[in-house]
């Protein structure tokens, strides 16, 4: 793609300086950000970094060094042989000239060792996700801490070297990198150019065909599961008796879905709760978010409680379950169309890196705009936590009432109580850690399109509540030891999930946090470090492990007669395995060969000794 006003163009193969050295490697130019005047380039080993124009040269005039022909090694392979990239910077240039596609300028060879180092600007670091607003600057210092090195003096020395040598800046589309300041001198030197969004070339989910199939199949699957769940024989093998199609779309029910969405939107804009800064935009602005979800939850419970007290029958949700799902689907489609249309006018620097392929169907599914907002109203953040997750809890409560009504019970069954309590606890935990969601992958990387809209507004409330829906029609007796066993399993899962997430969030907020000083870490070239001990040394995604253990505990109260209540476990396993692979690819791009070092250190992905 043509990038006006720049010396290098997207797709050009040029020589890019390896930060902290005088070595130049062949790199491919991916894009240019005019606002911060940095090129995103990719090295041959897959490391993506951002370089200034002064650190890039045209390939003509470079000669490969002698040894380069016989021993081919990428910058990071050289590094990984001995040390992490942070440490590599200490090595003398003579030792590092043996890479094939590493070539050294003759001028650079003559430079004294310290002068070889670029004028360094330390990589901007992760934005705090749970404590935003206080420590922007503190983080810049802290994230360079190298805790692998147990000797404080040496660690300090290493930190200084990093700080003084690195001129790396993480790719902006990694989401949490704050654009670095340019010196006035440099700004004057560089020509302004139009901001362009990188074109998505690697299509996920099987590309256009894959996402088209998903868009047709997923809604049908949700409705199919709901129909099967309500039948006496909830077997996936027995053909379900289908409801009349014209009964599925009820304008009254659709009105209720819209009302629910608007009610939650109203609670979101209430001027209560603190406002925090979230992820930065490509133009360097920080988005602001209001944290008032617990207020919204309490007000929702109070409003529904008052409505029930006034005679509203919550079991309406049970009797109109399918219609509600169809209306939510229709609402999701309409919202996704709106999002796609508005994304066509969105500024380039606000497009999501994964949803800008140029294919209508693919971009509609993935979402083109990263953070679509109407004034300050953030549609993605709002949908991720509010109408769907709260709707899920309301559906669960309605199912408990329906069970009592259907079976003439004074109280819901123990199985129903367990399922309701587990789900409530999970959602409340997410609400308690509301700010943490600002740092999760979906918030930082994903565009807001059909996948997430449908996921948030139809998939979450109507598939996550299948267990309680199932129990209405399929009571399951639980003995006391069973109850104790299931609760214990859920507690174990929750402890792993919470500890892993809190540890990572606290570490990203402040890598020098004294409560985490016992944990080992490895540094990366971006200035960020990775945890390699404790839960994060056991597997690469301990938070996923905890989530999966909880998922199992939620299904067990439904017994073993049918597979349907285990749908959530199957879904979550599939989603998290896929998500892990996506995250892995992303981290490999971000951290280069240090990620491989990390993977060697922490061998298993989600389940210790198994996977
Ligand atoms: N119930 C459900 O349906 C779903 C639940 N979830 C849950 O949501 C939560 C968030 O999940 P998700 O956003 O996918 O992923 P994570 O919260 O695990 O975030 C992954 C990021 O963490 C950082 N990271 C990875 N390894 C390390 C390490 N060793 N040390 C420090 N940082 C590391 C990397 O980012 P960087 O280095 O750039 O900081 C990586 O990109 C999870 O608990 C998950 O279980 C998720 C999806 C669906
Ligand atoms: C349509 C597809 C099948 C995929 C849908 C995916 C979504 C349902 C999930 C994507 C990421 C999610 C997260 C959560 C809920 C499910 C979705 C929206 C949480 C909010 C659940 C509570 C956790 O504490 C945080 C999670 C963040 C990611």
Where does residue 438 rank: exposed (0-12), middle (13-18), buried (19+ CB within 10 A)? buried
Report, as an integer, the average pLDDT of 305-312: 93
Q: Which residue's alpha carbon is at the smallest distance from atom 4 of ligand 2? A: 455
Residue 579 Cβ contacting ligand 1 at under 6 Å: yes
Q: How confident is the model at residue 376 (pLDDT cuts 50, 70, 90)?
A: confident
pLDDT reported for residue 169: 33
Provide the sign of the torsion angle of the four alpha carbons 535, 537, 539, 540, taken in this order: positive
Provide the sign of the torsion angle of the four alpha carbons 509, 514, 518, 521, taken in this order: positive
pLDDT reported for residue 62: 60
Locate 385 and state its tokens. Answer: 């936590």
431 C-alpha to center of ligand 2: Å?
A: 13
Residue 456 Cβ contacting ligand 2 at under 6 Å: yes
pLDDT reported for residue 512: 84
pLDDT reported for residue 19: 62
Segment among 144-148, 284-288, 341-345, 557-561 with least mean pLDDT: 144-148
Average pLDDT in the chain: 78
Q: Which residue's alpha carbon is at the smallest distance from atom 33 of ligand 1? A: 530
Report, as an integer, the average pLDDT of 336-350: 91
Residue-wise DSSP of 195-240: --PPP--S--TTHHHHHHHHHHHHHHHHHHHHHHHTSSS--SSSPP
Matching residue, tokens 């996402």: 211
What does R_g of the chain's alpha carbons equal in angstroms?
A: 27
Report, as an integer, the average pLDDT of 385-408: 96
Report, as an integer, the average pLDDT of 108-115: 32
Q: Does pLDDT of 100 surpass 80?
A: no
- Confirm whether pTM is higher than 0.80: no
Residue 443 Cβ contacting ligand 1 at under 6 Å: no
Residues whose CB is less than 8 angstroms from the CB of residue 10 and which lie 6 or more positions away in sequence, other chains included:
1, 2, 3, 29, 30, 31, 32, 196, 198
Residue 338 Cβ contacting ligand 1 at under 6 Å: no
Residue 459 Cβ contacting ligand 2 at under 6 Å: yes
d(CA 287, CA 376): 9
Q: Which residue's alpha carbon is at the smallest distance from atom 5 of ligand 2? A: 455
Ligand nearest to the CA of 522: 1
Q: Is the distance from CB of 172 to CB of 50 less than 8 angstroms?
A: yes
pLDDT reported for residue 420: 98
The ligand 2 atom at the shortest distance from the C-alpha of residue 501 is: 24
Segment among 26-35, 95-104, 134-143, 285-294 with least mean pLDDT: 95-104
Report, as an integer, the average pLDDT of 558-563: 93
Residues whose CB is less than 8 angstroms from the CB of residue 351 and which lie 6 or more positions away in sequence, other chains included:
197, 343, 368, 369, 370, 447
Residue 572 Cβ contacting ligand 1 at under 6 Å: yes
179 or 156, which is more confident = 156
Locate 355 and state its tokens. Answer: 């949803």
125 or 400, which is more confident = 400
Q: Residue 109 is inside which H or E element, if any?
A: helix 106-110
pLDDT reported for residue 22: 61
Q: Does pLDDT of 601 surpass 60?
A: yes
Q: Does pLDDT of 206 surpass 50?
A: yes
238 or 355, which is more confident = 355
Residue 464 Cβ contacting ligand 1 at under 6 Å: no
- Backbone phi, psi, residue 16, to 5°: -115, 135
Q: How does DSSP classify residue 190? A: S
Residue 544 Cβ contacting ligand 1 at under 6 Å: yes
Report, as an integer, the average pLDDT of 96-124: 31
Q: Does pLDDT of 392 surpass 80?
A: yes
| Domain locations in the chain as residue ranges | 207-601
Report, as an integer, the average pLDDT of 329-347: 95
Summarised one tens digit per residue, pLDDT across range 30-41 is: 888 776 778 888
The ligand 1 atom at the shortest distance from the C-alpha of residue 591 is: 37
Summarised one tens digit per residue, pLDDT across range 498-538 is: 999 999 988 888 888 888 888 899 988 888 889 998 899 99
C-alpha distances out from residue 601 to 35, 284, 355, 522, Å: 38, 35, 33, 10
Q: How confident is the model at residue 168 (pLDDT cuts 50, 70, 90)?
A: very low
Residue 177 Cβ contacting ligand 1 at under 6 Å: no
Q: Does pLDDT of 166 surpass 50?
A: no
Residues whose CB is less than 8 angstroms from the CB of residue 380 and which lie 6 or more positions away in sequence, other chains included:
370, 371, 372, 442, 443, 448, 452
pLDDT reported for residue 231: 84
Residue 104 Cβ contacting ligand 2 at under 6 Å: no
Q: Is the distance from CB of 234 to CB of 474 less than 8 angstroms?
A: yes
d(CA 485, CA 12): 60
Report, as an integer, the average pLDDT of 544-563: 96
174 C-alpha to center of ligand 1: Å?
A: 13
Where does residue 88 rank: exposed (0-12), middle (13-18), buried (19+ CB within 10 A)? buried
Locate 442 and state its tokens. Answer: 């979906």
pLDDT reported for residue 87: 34
Winning range, highest mean pLDDT, from 176-180, 187-191, 208-212, 312-316:
208-212
Q: Which residue's alpha carbon is at the smallest distance from atom 32 of ligand 1? A: 530
Report, as an integer, the average pLDDT of 555-579: 95
pLDDT reported for residue 10: 81
ipTM of the complex: 0.97
Residues whose CB is less than 8 angstroms from the CB of residue 295 and which lie 6 or more positions away in sequence, other chains included:
267, 270, 272, 273
Winning range, highest mean pLDDT, from 7-16, 72-81, 462-471:
462-471
Segment among 188-192, 329-333, 428-432 with least mean pLDDT: 188-192
Residue 568 Cβ contacting ligand 2 at under 6 Å: no
């Amino acid at each position: 793609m043509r990038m006006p006003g720049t010396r290098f163009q997207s797709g050009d193969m040029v020589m890019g300086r390896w930060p902290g050295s005088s070595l130049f490697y062949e790199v491919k130019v991916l894009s240019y950000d005019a606002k911060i005047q940095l090129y995103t380039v990719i090295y041959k080993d897959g490391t993506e970094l951002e370089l200034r124009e002064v650190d890039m040269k045209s390939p003509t005039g470079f000669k490969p060094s002698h040894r380069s022909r016989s021993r081919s090694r990428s910058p990071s392979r050289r590094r990984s042989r001995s040390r992490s990239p942070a440490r590599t910077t200490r090595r003398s240039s003579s030792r590092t000239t043996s890479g094939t596609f590493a070539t050294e300028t003759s001028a650079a060879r003559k430079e004294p060792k310290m002068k070889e180092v670029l004028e360094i600007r330390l990589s901007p670091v992760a934005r705090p996700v749970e404590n935003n607003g206080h420590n922007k600057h503190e983080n810049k210092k802290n994230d360079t801490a190298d805790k692998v090195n147990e000797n404080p003096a040496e660690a300090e020395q290493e930190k200084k070297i990093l700080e003084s040598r690195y001129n790396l800046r993480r790719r902006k589309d990694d989401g949490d990198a704050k654009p670095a300041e340019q010196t006035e001198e440099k700004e004057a030197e560089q020509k302004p150019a139009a901001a362009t969004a990188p074109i998505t070339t690697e299509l996920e989910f099987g590309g256009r065909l894959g996402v088209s199939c998903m868009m047709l199949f997923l809604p049908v699957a949700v409705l199919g599961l709901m129909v099967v769940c309500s039948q006496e024989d909830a077997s996936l093998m027995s053909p379900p008796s289908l409801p009349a199609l014209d009964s599925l779309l009820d304008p009254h029910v659709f009105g209720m879905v819209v009302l629910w969405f608007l009610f939650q939107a109203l609670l979101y804009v209430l001027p209560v709760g603190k406002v925090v800064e979230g992820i930065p935009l490509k133009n360097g602005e920080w988005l602001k978010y209001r944290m008032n979800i617990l207020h919204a939850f309490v007000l929702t419970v109070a409003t529904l409680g008052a409505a029930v007290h006034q005679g509203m029958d919550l079991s309406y949700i049970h009797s109109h379950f399918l219609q509600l799902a169809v209306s939510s689907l229709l609402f999701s489609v309409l919202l996704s169309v709106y999002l796609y249309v508005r994304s066509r006018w969105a500024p380039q620097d606000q497009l999501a890196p994964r949803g800008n392929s140029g294919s209508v169907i693919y971009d509609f599914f993935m979402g083109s705009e990263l953070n679509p907002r109407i004034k300050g109203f953030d549609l993605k953040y709002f949908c991720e936590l509010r109408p769907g997750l709260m709707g899920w809890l309301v559906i669960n409560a309605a199912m408990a009432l329906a069970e009592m009504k259907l079976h003439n019970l004074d109280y819901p069954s123990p199985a129903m109580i367990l399922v309701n309590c587990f789900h409530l606890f999970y959602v409340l935990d997410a609400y308690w850690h509301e700010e943490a969601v600002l740092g999760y992958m979906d918030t930082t990387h994903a565009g807001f399109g059909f996948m997430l809209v449908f996921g948030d507004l139809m998939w979450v409330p109507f598939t996550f509540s299948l267990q309680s829906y199932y129990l209405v029609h399929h009571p399951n007796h639980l003995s006391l030891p069973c109850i104790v066993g299931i609760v214990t399993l859920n507690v174990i899962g929750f402890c792993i999930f919470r500890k892993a997430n809190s540890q990572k969030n606290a570490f990203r907020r402040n890598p020098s946090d004294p409560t985490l000083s016992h944990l080992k870490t490895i540094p990366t070239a971006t200035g960020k470090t990775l945890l390699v001990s404790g839960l994060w040394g056991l597997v690469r995604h301990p938070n996923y492990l905890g989530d999966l253990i909880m998922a199992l505990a939620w299904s067990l109260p439904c017994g073993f007669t049918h597979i349907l209540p285990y749908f959530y476990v199957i879904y979550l396993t599939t989603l998290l395995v896929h998500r892990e692979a996506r995250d892995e690819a992303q981290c490999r791009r971000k951290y280069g060969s240090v990620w491989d070092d990390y993977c060697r250190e922490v061998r298993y992905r989600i389940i210790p000794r198994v996977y």
